Amino acid sequence: MTRPRLLLYCQHSLGLGHLARSLAVADALSESFEVTLLNGGRFPAGTRRPRDVRIVNLPPLGHDDDYQLVSLDPEWTVAEAQEERLRRILAVLELKSPHVLLVELFPFGRKKFAFELVPMLEAARSQRPSRPLVLCSLRDILVTGRRDQAGHDERASERANAWFDALLVHSDPAFARLEDTFRPRTPLRVPVLYTGFVAPPAIPPLSAEHRLPRLLVSAGGGMVGEPLFREAVDQHRELFDRTGLTTTVVAGPFLPDPAWHWLQHQAAESPHLHVVRRVDDLCTDMACSTLSLSQAGYNTTMDILRAGTPAVVVPYGAGREDEQASRARRLDALGALRSVPARELGTGRLLEELVLLAGSRPAPVRLDLDGARTTARVVTGLVGLPPAANTIPLTPHGAAR
């Protein structure tokens, strides 16, 4: 039997979180759909590809510190990449004629990519003989620090009402609801459905003797992780003296080469410091570590919750970014981790928090972490398909506001 076709658009800029979450959702959706993923950022070597998902890599674009578009491939200028991306997107849309179009984050973010997203959505609306079901894939917490936040929210609400059939929020509503960080004047008319968090599979509990005596340090893709890595390196000898823990830094594929070379040099000078560019499964590596130190991106915090390892996070918050800090505060209040603001790096507080947590256990947190499978069930139900054999019946966790 031919499966219905689903086209998923994902653009990641600073890190890998959006791509990793979209890959997990695409993998779950492939049980019932023929899935094609449009990837607008870099696709690092070694990234796991879902077996039954076709990936179309667009000329990669990102943004700089001033939020201006930059080409991430020297073969393309920004203008050339924009033109080619739009051509490929519209060609795939026409070729696949999807039954479902799933758009990650837009219109709640990715304003710089409206040059291709608006034409894609307009073309989808004009698709014949019938247009696709158009859905938005949205994380738990949105950025709220924009200069014109009220205007941004209003435009997002208008666009959502005009082009989308439902919003899928990858959050447990007991933890964060859309209205916590989205307050337009014009109310949303489209249904808001909560899927639970998109997290890695559960890991069997490990006893203390099966954990390596180390601090595992990570920062997602690594593009903005250098300040955290430098602090961890500066403190690693004293951490070893006070706790007996070595330090392992997972640099990430996007850490700039000068910072990576500095890390390698530091590790060569110390028996208590190890550095690697990437690992296959960060969640499992966390579970096998005594402590974790990281930023507070969506995927990293899901790894922390699954791993059950005592963790300190230093949320990334440069420019207008505030969603990591908000997520970290909420998880800190639940006892799942400890949060240290980036402005307190260099004060000694980070080391004290790590020493305090060594040998402790985080409080149990009862949040729904089955968001990938629930997303597949929700989308399956919206298009009228029977649920896949290995899933429970469709029961969305939230309803329209």
Quick one: pLDDT at residue 385?
A: 64
**Token reading at 326:** 């908000």
Taking only the tens place, the pLDDT of each residue in 2-37 is: 899 999 999 997 778 899 999 999 999 999 999 999
Q: How far apart are CA 355 and CA 243, in angstroms?
A: 7
Please give the backbone phi and psi of residue 328, each rounded to the nearest 5 degrees, phi first. -65, -40
| Distance in angstroms (rounded) separating the CA atoms of residues 273 and 380 | 48
- Distance, CA of 110 to CA of 10 (rounded, Å): 10
Q: How far is CA 259 from the centre of its chain?
A: 23
Distance CA 285, CA 401 (A): 39
Q: Give the C-alpha distances (Å, rounded to integers) separating 270 from 228, 264, 267, 273.
A: 18, 10, 5, 6
Per-residue pLDDT, 309: 94
Q: Is the pLDDT of residue 57 over 70?
A: yes
More confident residue, 348 or 387: 348
> Distance between CA 57 and CA 180 in Å, rounded?
34
Nearest to 181 by CA among 322, 301, 319: 322
Stretch 174-200: mean pLDDT, rounded?
Answer: 96
The helix/strand/coil state of 245 is coil
118 confidence band (pLDDT: 50, 70, 90):
very high
- Close Cβ partners of 353 (under 8 Å, ≥ 6 residues apart): 312, 338, 340
Max mean pLDDT among 70-84, 314-328, 378-392 falls in 70-84
B/e letters for 134-159, b = 16+ CB within 10 Å, e = fewer, are bbbbbbbbbbbebeebeebbebbbeb
Question: Is 334 within 8 Å of 301 (Cβ atoms)?
Answer: no
Lowest mean pLDDT across 18-32, 187-201, 270-284, 381-395:
381-395
**Whole-number mean pLDDT of the chain?**
92
Task: Give 219-243 pLDDT, tens digit per residue.
Answer: 999 999 999 999 999 999 999 999 9
Rounded to an integer, the average pLDDT of 347-370 is 94
pTM here is 0.92
